[in-house]
Amino acid sequence: MQLTGAEIIVECLKEQGVDTVFGYPGGAILNVYDALYEYKDQITHVLTSHEQGASHAADGYARATGKVGVCLATSGPGATNLVTGIATAYMDSVPMVAITCNVGTPLLGKDSFQEVDITGIVMPITKHSFIVKDITTLADTVRRAFYIAKSGRPGPVLVDVTKDVTGAKYEYTACAPAEIIPKTDTIKDEDIATAVQMIKEAKRPFIFTGGGTIISEASREVTELAHRIDAPVCDSLMGKGGFSGEDPLYTGMLGMHGTKTSNLGVSGCDLLIVLGARFSDRVTGNTKTFAKNAKILQIDVDAAEINKNIVVDASVVGDEKEVLKRILAEVPEMRHPEWTAHISELKEKYPLRYDHSQLTGPYIIEKLYELTKGDAIITTEVGQNQMWAAQYFKYKEPRTFLSSGGLGTMGYGLGAAIGAKMGRPDKTVVNIAGDGCFRMNMNEIATAVRCGRPLIEIVLNNHVLGMVRQWQTLFYDHRYSHTILNDAVDFVKLAEAMGAKAIRITKMEEVEPALKEALACPGPIVLDCMIDQDLSVFPMVPAGASIDDIFDEEDMKK
């Protein structure tokens, strides 16, 4: 049947199973929005307050559901406003398709009104970017974009379509989505045999799991492996929920703000099994001393990650779930009582600690965990709020912790929370923010209100840029250069002005009643939690130090 280019785009979205898109209209993309009007009963469009909010919402939708997130923007500034969100998704391997529309083909390259080479701009931060100037290639390009975004190591893809293509007509024929097959052709029998032998020989094995565990849906296999070989498990920020935080073998996060147990355990193990993690500098600290007593076995779908940051002793390239299935078929039951007893002693000796005499971020997050019993999707901003959320909430399932790990994007969490709530409306969704981050994209509270769904925004308000101030305290001799937010901004009034309910919390005894009210609230609610400006995130490893040089406040007192 003959359809316009705009209608072809929407039909292709339907083919791919898209039920929700996030965006903001403008002149060049008007034809697509006109088509969406006709399909409004089949595809829900969420109008965000800013295009960056749309990109973060698409990202959050993708992370929470495992499906491809979709965002839309017009040409010029509309398209460039997506860039930070696209880069965020790229760094964290999130499947996303961004559809932008450009000026008409005859106007390209002439500095036309709101013209920008968005495909060129995003080339370093996408798996692929396309510009469609011929309607005959439109449908296949959109389909290919979804396949690229989802296959192998996922990531964002941008499709830019000129306005004349969206208005032209062409024959459309429906097509089933291409099947996404896990990457197994790179898995070699000899690599599996080597991995199995290393595991059999290990006396002090340790498992480090990252975001790849969640992407490949390998959580069950990781859990089975850990219990089969009696190995403790730590995770990266991106790996939260890939292995249950309530499991007795779990030791906490690894790295700069990880637990002492994880850092000391990895430093003392004789085999480190790395699953779907890229050895971020925030994890490894000094690469020359990382896991210095261990052989390292790395399993990853992306061959480019092998030996990129850390030289490993052996590796298996391929889909993590499939690799683990093959390893589990060969690995016997094993027990390491002395090793697991040592790790248990470390856990008992070095628990996470915080000041219980005043209102703090950890207290609020622990109380949230207690009241939800861990059954919630937590999104975060970046900084102290992010680290406390990673440390003090126990994530039992994959896709329940959404955070900007690689890019560290302030302003990410609220948009991501909206996307997560749209994708999984049955789940309680909470965004944990600092006041500095909340300022970045707090206009999306209006979007949350417009969506009409319950969503909790917790602002840990210390009137400073907390993580930067912490570094200024520790390493810059208390020189607080432009990190104090000593103005009169009232987040309660702002939230209420945008149509949300809001509560200010100033003391510990107000936390539980406020959280209970928030959990029962039928719409968006903001909790403005006033905490001290000099609270810090501990434990901590100084930048460039070895991870076993980890210290906390007790160490500083000594």
Residue 128: CATH number of its domain: 3.40.50.970
The tally of domains found in the chain comes to 3
Boundary of a domain, candidates 145, 171, 197 = 171
Question: What pLDDT does residue 557 have?
Answer: 80
pLDDT at 554 over 90: no
Residues 9 and 87 in one domain: yes
Please state, in angstroms and rounded to a whole number, the distance separating the CA atoms of residues 274 and 289: 16
pLDDT at 257 over 80: yes
pLDDT by residue (tens digit) across 380-408? 999 999 999 999 999 999 999 999 999 99
Kindly report the average pLDDT of the chain as a whole number: 97
Question: What pLDDT does residue 558 have?
Answer: 77
Contacts of residue 497, Cβ cutoff 8 Å, sequence gap at least 6: none
Please state, in angstroms and rounded to a whole number, the distance separating the CA atoms of residues 158 and 73: 11
Strand partners for 209 = 235, 275
Which amino acids are annotated catalytic?
Answer: 51, 113-114, 163, 467
Please state, in angstroms and rounded to a whole number, the distance separating the CA atoms of residues 167 and 3: 9
Owning domain of residue 200 = 189-349
123 assigned to some structural domain: yes
pLDDT by residue (tens digit) across 31-51? 999 999 999 999 999 999 999
Residues 390 and 344 in one domain: no
Residues 443 and 340 in one domain: no
* Tokens 């249950």 found at: 244
Please state, in angstroms and rounded to a whole number, the distance separating the CA atoms of residues 533 and 359: 11
Strand order through the sheet with 455-461: 401-402, 377-380, 429-434, 455-461, 524-530, 501-505
At 276, is the pLDDT very low, low, confident or very high (cuts 50, 70, 90)? very high
Question: What pLDDT does residue 555 have?
Answer: 86
Residues 199 and 304 in one domain: yes
Tally of residues, the chain: 558
pLDDT by residue (tens digit) across 103-140? 999 999 999 999 999 999 999 999 999 999 999 999 99
Q: What percent of the chain has pLDDT over 70?
A: 100
Question: What pLDDT does residue 543 have?
Answer: 86
Residues 384 and 444 in one domain: yes
Which DSSP string corresponds to 234-270? Answer: EE-GGGTTSS-TTSTTEEEE-STTS-HHHHHHHHH-S
Residues 343 and 366 in one domain: no
355 assigned to some structural domain: no
* Tokens 């789940």 found at: 427
Q: What is the pTM of this model?
A: 0.97
Question: What pLDDT does residue 336 have?
Answer: 98
Question: What pLDDT does residue 556 have?
Answer: 82
Please state, in angstroms and rounded to a whole number, the distance separating the CA atoms of residues 514 and 13: 41
The CA–CA distances, whole Å, from 62 to 78, 181, 438, 514, 555 equal 21, 18, 22, 30, 41
Residue 258: CATH number of its domain: 3.40.50.1220
541 assigned to some structural domain: no
pLDDT at 243 over 90: yes
Residues 469 and 373 in one domain: yes
Residues 302 and 381 in one domain: no
